[in-house]
């Protein structure tokens, strides 16, 4: 265990703030596409799922990940990032519309606390970024000393370069922002639905320019260094997971026996096999509060070289086939009585406007082993 459990069940969450009963026009793909829609004729999903609509008038939103890492739990709990989180995420007037905490371990043995934050108002985000007291902490030479590693990854997401699946009674990720609306997506429940939901794929295949695949960069020791990494165009991100906190004993036992194990095996494959999978970074995380008390929710945050690499794993690798098959069997068995809550968000990054910074980090942290970069110290 990473930390003591809070409870095996969620206290019921407030449902999402805004719900559209029908999908908006922007959720439907145009007839002319560079990649054809893959939705089968007259297809009806086993379970209807819901996607997000960024507030009208907002061309994009921001997702940020702030990470604290240390050799063990006791040291991690002394990390200075926690005071920064309280001042500049929780209490700042221009802080994120929603944020959530998680704990995870790395392949090299360290333990991490991760905060995922969302801004869906560009003006609010820009005010926050311009606040020099927010930024000064990251420039402090103290960040490069001692046993603490720290990183931040801030993503710019145009509204047509994201897709998502949520449940109405389980707001998590960007669906936790009160300004976001959810609608019943016309594309879900079949292979290929992910690309169908990404409206940018109607006019762009979103291919990577790095035809040679992932290649590690030599000369970055990480420890004692401050690196800024430039992600390539069309880097794909998936964030998503599942909660068993709504389940009764029977459904919880079924989940543990039939679905949770293949999910964990699939994430482990991606974590250990970046070159064949194209997965540059995989963090498998357990939701928690700021003190590290664990909650019954696990999720991944993974960076793939391109949407095609993510699709190739999802459609052609045995580890994902096991997950998909087990999930479909569960939905068909329980139908409307299903108590499993799953969610995901997929983004495909355009060039420019992102921040990937790693301070005193292990050289395998996040995107630090890959891509172009500048040392800032």
Give the C-alpha distances (Å, rounded to integers) separating 132 from 90, 136, 243, 355. 17, 6, 38, 16
Model confidence at 209: pLDDT above 70? yes
Residue 313: closest CA among 340, 275, 365: 275
pLDDT digits (tens, 9 = 90+) for 18-54: 999 999 999 999 999 999 999 999 999 988 999 999 9
Query: Residue 43 CB: number of other CB atoms within 10 A?
Result: 13
Average of pLDDT values for 199-211?
95
Residue 353: closest CA among 87, 92, 56, 59: 59
pLDDT digits (tens, 9 = 90+) for 112-168: 999 999 999 999 999 999 999 999 999 999 999 999 999 999 999 999 999 999 999
Tell me the pLDDT band of 1, cut-offs 50, 70 and 90.
very low
CB 164 within 8 A of CB 344: yes
Model confidence at 67: pLDDT above 60? yes
Residue 271: closest CA among 307, 231, 313: 313
Model confidence at 100: pLDDT above 60? yes
Tell me the pLDDT band of 3, cut-offs 50, 70 and 90.
very low
Tell me the pLDDT band of 341, cut-offs 50, 70 and 90.
very high
| pLDDT of the residue at 4 | 38
Model confidence at 287: pLDDT above 90? yes
Domain ranges within the chain, ordered by starting residue: 18-205+222-375
């Amino acid at each position: 265990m990473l930390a003591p459990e809070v409870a095996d069940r969620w206290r019921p969450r407030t449902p999402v703030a805004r719900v559209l009963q029908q999908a908006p026009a922007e959720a439907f793909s145009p007839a002319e596409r560079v990649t054809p829609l893959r939705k089968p004729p007259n297809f009806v999903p086993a379970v209807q799922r819901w996607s997000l609509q960024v507030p009208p008038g907002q061309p994009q939103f921001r997702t940020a990940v702030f990470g604290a890492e240390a050799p063990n739990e006791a040291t991690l709990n002394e990390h200075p990032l926690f005071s920064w989180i309280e001042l500049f995420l929780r209490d700042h007037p221009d802080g994120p519309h929603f944020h959530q905490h998680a704990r995870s371990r790395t392949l090299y043995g360290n333990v991490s606390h991760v905060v995922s934050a969302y801004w869906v108002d560009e003006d609010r985000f820009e005010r926050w970024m311009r606040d020099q007291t927010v930024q000064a902490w990251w420039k402090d030479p103290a960040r490069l000393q001692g046993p603490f590693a720290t990183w931040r990854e801030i993503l710019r997401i145009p509204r047509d370069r994201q897709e998502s699946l949520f449940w109405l009674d389980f707001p998590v990720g960007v669906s936790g922002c009160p300004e976001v609306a959810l609608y019943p997506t016309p594309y879900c429940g079949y292979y290929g639905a992910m690309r169908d939901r990404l409206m940018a794929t109607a006019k762009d295949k979103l291919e990577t320019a790095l035809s040679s695949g992932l290649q590690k960069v030599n000369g970055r020791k990480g420890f004692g260094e401050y690196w800024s990494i430039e992600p390539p165009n069309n880097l794909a991100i998936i964030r998503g997971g599942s909660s068993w906190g709504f389940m009764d004993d029977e459904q919880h036992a079924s989940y543990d026996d039939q679905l949770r194990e293949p999910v964990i095996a699939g994430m482990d494959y991606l974590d250990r096999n970046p070159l064949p999978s194209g997965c540059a970074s995989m963090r498998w995380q357990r939701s928690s509060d700021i003190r590290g008390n664990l909650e019954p929710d696990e999720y991944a945050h993974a960076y793939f070289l391109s949407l095609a690499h993510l699709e190739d794993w999802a459609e052609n690798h045995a580890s994902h086939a096991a997950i998909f098959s087990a999930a479909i069997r569960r939905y068909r068995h329980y139908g409307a009585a299903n108590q499993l809550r799953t969610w995901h968000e997929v983004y495909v990054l355009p060039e420019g406007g992102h921040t990937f910074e790693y301070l005193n980090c292990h050289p395998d942290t996040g995107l630090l082993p890959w891509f172009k970069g500048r040392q800032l110290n």
